[in-house]
């Protein structure tokens, strides 16, 4: 398997965690999102992912994009250890936790959104941070409540095994710190993050551990 990735990309970080949890070997192909205006915009990379976003995963002669689709693909091919519970309502809950991050938080403070706000709409760096803090705060507050009120309390977002929700949470918290968010108001999420980072699959996927880390 070949993963097109960037060390600081939280969507790539998710897939690295999932691959590690499944015990799969993969080759990393770094795509630098800043260098030279962004390697994601090169013709070579756009032939791999026309969306010009990382990650992309090559496997069995196919190229897959979108981190959640990639993780569901891995789950279907390599069901052990599972990244989703078995009960349909529980699965929907875990997916909803992951989607709060992947659909409601992450896309609106992604690099291309911030570049548009700054370059085209003339917003300052401080405005960009306030923007990111606002949307991250809204999403994480709801997630904290959802986890605390969930039907299966445990070490992780849902029960005692890591799931897609935890895989999305850990990179999002790292990202929130980069924007200076106050995370002390999410004690449950912070406790879960500590538990996750105690697992080699999470720790080895961290941005600073990647071959392209700066």
Whole-angstrom distance between the N-terminal and C-terminal Cα of the chain?
24
20 counts as binding ligand GSH under rule CB under 6 A: no
Q: Which residues contact 46 (CB under 8 A, 6 or more apart)?
A: 40, 52
CA dist 22 and 74 (Å) reads 8
10 counts as binding ligand GSH under rule CB under 6 A: yes
112 counts as binding ligand GSH under rule CB under 6 A: yes
Q: What value, to the nearest 5°, has the Cα angle with vertex 64 and ends 60 and 67?
A: 130
Q: Is the Cα dihedral 4, 6, 7, 10 positive or negative?
A: negative
Rule CB under 6 A: choose which of 5, 110, 163, 172 binds ligand GSH.
110
Rule CB under 6 A: choose which of 3, 18, 48, 53 binds ligand GSH.
53
> Residue count at the site for ligand GSH (CB under 6 A)?
16
48 counts as binding ligand GSH under rule CB under 6 A: no
Residue nearer to ligand GSH on the CB measure, 111 or 206: 111
CA dist 211 and 214 (Å) reads 9
176 counts as binding ligand GSH under rule CB under 6 A: no
Residue nearer to ligand GSH on the CB measure, 137 or 207: 207
Inter-residue contact 86 to 92 (CB < 8 Å): no
| The one segment of 86-94, 107-115, 125-133, 182-190 that binds ligand GSH by CB under 6 A | 107-115
The continuous run of DSSP H or E covering 16 comes out as helix 10-21
33 counts as binding ligand GSH under rule CB under 6 A: yes
| The one segment of 49-57, 143-151, 153-161, 178-186 that binds ligand GSH by CB under 6 A | 49-57
Q: What is the 3-state secondary structure (H, E, C) of 78-109?
A: CCCCCCCCCCHHHHHHHHHHHHHHHHHHHHHH
| The one segment of 47-55, 151-159, 180-188, 190-198 that binds ligand GSH by CB under 6 A | 47-55
Q: Which residues bind ligand GSH (CB under 6 A)?
A: 9-11, 33, 38, 40, 53-55, 66-68, 102, 110-112
């Amino acid at each position: 398997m070949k993963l097109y990735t960037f060390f600081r990309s939280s969507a790539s970080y998710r897939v690295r965690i999932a691959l590690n949890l499944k015990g799969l070997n993969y080759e990393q192909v770094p795509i630098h999102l800043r260098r030279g205006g962004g390697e994601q915009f090169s013709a070579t990379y756009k032939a791999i992912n026309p969306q010009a976003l990382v990650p992309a995963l090559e496997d069995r002669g196919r190229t897959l994009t979108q981190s959640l689709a990639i993780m569901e693909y891995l789950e279907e091919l390599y069901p052990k250890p599972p990244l989703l519970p078995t009960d349909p309502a529980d699965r929907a809950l875990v997916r909803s936790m992951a989607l709060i991050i992947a659909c409601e938080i992450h896309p609106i403070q992604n690099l291309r959104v911030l570049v548009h706000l700054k370059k085209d709409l003339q917003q300052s760096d401080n405005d960009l941070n306030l923007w990111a803090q606002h949307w991250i705060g809204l999403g994480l507050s709801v997630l904290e409540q959802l986890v605390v009120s969930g039907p299966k309390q445990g070490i992780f977002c849902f029960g005692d095994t890591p799931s897609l929700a935890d895989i999305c949470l850990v990179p999002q918290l790292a990202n929130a710190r980069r924007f200076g968010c106050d995370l002390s108001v999410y004690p449950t999420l912070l406790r879960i993050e500590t538990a996750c980072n105690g697992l080699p699959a999470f720790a080895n996927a961290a941005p600073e551990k990647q071959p392209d880390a700066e």
